[in-house]
Amino acid sequence: MDEQRSLKVLFLPQPGVDPTWQREVVAAVDPRHDLRIYDHGAPLESQFADVEAVIDTGGSVGTKAMLDAAPNVRFWQILGTGIDKFDMAYWRDRGIMVSNCPGPMSAIALAEHALLLTLMVIRRVPESQANLARGVLYQPLTPELPGKTLCLVGFGASAREFSIRAKAMGMKVIATDLFPVDAPTMAKWGADRVVAADELDSLLPEADVVSLHLHLNAETRHTLDARRIALMKEGSIVVNVARGALVDEDALVAAVASGHLGGGGIDVFSQEPPARDSAILNTPGIITTPHTAGVTDGTARRRAEGAAHNIELIAADLEPIDRVDRL
């Protein structure tokens, strides 16, 4: 590694995010390479002119204009998992290698947050807080998790981490996945049953909690729509820490408002940020957080280290890992 040349790398920070993300990237990349930080207020042409690799926070900062201004760029690292906000076709047409930071780098954070939202909804935390503010004690009486059934829609890294935590809480875990999951893998991650993705309808009536763990694309948009929500058990809840548009938000709001569903724990939204007066933010029983499920120190460190490893591979004229431009 010491004999490899230093690359000119540009980091694209996302305005408003915690500075920890930038500090971790600097710590992981700067000792070996010429790392610069993009200035959103300065002309982009001079900033991109000699750049060879870009690290793009979340894949949502980079624009076509930036790529057009970067004649020497060979590699674009997305510092996130999802690529639904990234114009992959444009980068692919330019022949630029693109990698992301796959699920295992944020799986623990997402699983912890999914469990947090599950507990907050089931234990009716906002109602408890309101009662305390009014001087009312001992209300509400709420269910416990042991014996409840968790349905994981998708059985990738974050779902598996959620599965072992739910199992430790005494829950039964059922799941769907695009690929067959063998018995040893199910046992390792605490799942009782994993079926094909197209068998989701058969699991929904069993579930007390349905949690989404999918990438967003044309096929997965509104995976949980009004028809499938109607199949869910009365009083069950929806948890989403993946992508907002996996759930039909209007159908979710209607089902919670009608009492068919017991509530929802939502960290991601079809429109981000959602309008302050949107129903998803203002329906009793739906607890929301500001897309913070993956925003942890561990996720920031692991993603920065993954990006730095790919920069090293590019510097050595080797293939980067976790390429998504070929998908």
279 CB-contact burial (10 Å; exposed 0-12 / middle 13-18 / buried 19+):
middle
HSE-CB at 268 with a 13 A cutoff on CA atoms is 24
pLDDT interval class at 56 (50, 70, 90): very high
Which of 243, 249, 302, 303 is catalytic? The answer is 243
Residue 48: name the closest of 63, 29, 60 by CA.
Answer: 63
Identify the pLDDT of residue 84: 84
CA distance 203 to 195: 9
Q: What is the pLDDT of residue 3?
A: 57
DSSP string, 141-201: ----STT-EEEEES-SHHHHHHHHHHHHTT-EEEEEESS---HHHHHHHT-SEEEEGGGHH
Domains of the chain: 8-102+296-315 (3.40.50.720), 107-288 (3.40.50.720)
Q: What are the CA-CA distances from residue 164 to residues 107, 138, 160 (Å)? A: 12, 31, 6
Q: Between vectors from CA 298 to CA 17 and to CA 119, what angle results, nearest 5°?
A: 90
Determine whether 301 is an active site residue: no
Which residue, 112, 121, 140, is CA-closest to 288? 121
Q: Are the beta carbons of 172 and 152 closer than 8 angstroms?
A: no
- Work out the number of other CB atoms within 10 angstroms of the CB of residue 164: 15
Based on the residue annotation, tell me whether 319 is a catalytic residue of this protein.
no
pLDDT tens, residue by residue, 256-298? 999 999 999 999 999 999 999 999 999 999 999 999 999 999 9
Residue with tokens 């909804």: 121
| Mean local confidence (pLDDT), 153-169 | 98
Q: Where are the beta strands (DSSP E) in the chain?
A: 8-12, 34-37, 53-57, 75-79, 97-99, 149-153, 172-177, 193-196, 209-212, 237-240, 263-266, 286-288
The token duo for 246 is 């996996």
The helix (run of H) or strand (run of E) holding residue 9 is: strand 8-12
> Is 243 among the residues known to form the active site?
yes
- Cα–Cα distance between 203 and 280 in angstroms, integer? 25
The active-site residue, picked from 144, 199, 272, 319, is: 272
Q: How far is CA 173 from CA 138, 166, 214, in A?
A: 31, 7, 17
From 219, 289, 217, 281, select the one nearest 249 (Cα to Cα).
281
Q: Which residues pair with 287 in a beta bridge?
A: 265
pTM for this prediction: 0.93
Amino acid occupying residue 317:
D
**1-50 pLDDT tens trace:** 445 789 999 999 998 889 999 999 999 999 899 999 999 999 999 999 99
Query: Of these residues, 291, 301, 309, 323, which one is catalytic?
Result: 291
- Comparing CA positions, the residue from 260, 262, 256 lying closest to residue 279 is 256
Radius of gyration of the chain (CA): 22
Pairing of strands 75-79, 53-57: parallel
pLDDT higher than threshold 70 for residue 322? yes
**What is the pLDDT at residue 201?**
98
Amino acid letter for position 118: T
Percent of the chain exceeding pLDDT 90 equals 92
Task: Tokens for 314, please give them.
Answer: 């590019």
Does residue 102 have a cis bond before it (omega within 30 degrees)? no
Say whether 274 sits in a helix, a strand or coil.
coil
pLDDT over 60 (residue 97)? yes
279 vs 274: CA distance, rounded Å: 9
Give me the pLDDT at residue 59, please.
Answer: 79
